[in-house]
Amino acid sequence: MILGRVIGTVWATRKDENLVGAKFLIVRQINLDYSDTKNFIIAVDSVGAGVGEVVLIATGSSARQTTFTKNKPIDAVIMAIVDKLDIAIKEQKFEATKN
């Protein structure tokens, strides 16, 4: 799953009929320190997220593993709203443990 911040909503009137009722959100991918990256993704919401919230997104075929998205043309779904990150090993100080 990847970490992102919801930055907007998408409306689309003409779409695949399986997508009727889906709530599409634009999500900017973020780093562990909440700074923005250049990547963004349009994801279907399954938890009731809103603009500004930090969320987790499942992508690929896993995005179809919810009751709403099953067998629908969807490849990204918001599956959690993040309360807190606890990063024990900071990225700057990251050193792979040698065997």
Out of 6, 22, 27, 58, the only residue in the binding site for other proteins (CB under 8 A) is 58
Out of 66, 71, 73, 92, the only residue in the binding site for other proteins (CB under 8 A) is 66
Shortest Cβ distance from residue 14 to other proteins (Å)?
26
81 binds other proteins (CB under 8 A): yes
| C-alpha distances out from residue 71 to 20, 62, 68, 76, Å | 13, 11, 9, 13
79 binds other proteins (CB under 8 A): yes
10 binds other proteins (CB under 8 A): no
Out of 32, 34, 36, 51, the only residue in the binding site for other proteins (CB under 8 A) is 32
46 binds other proteins (CB under 8 A): yes
Out of 41, 42, 59, 72, the only residue in the binding site for other proteins (CB under 8 A) is 59
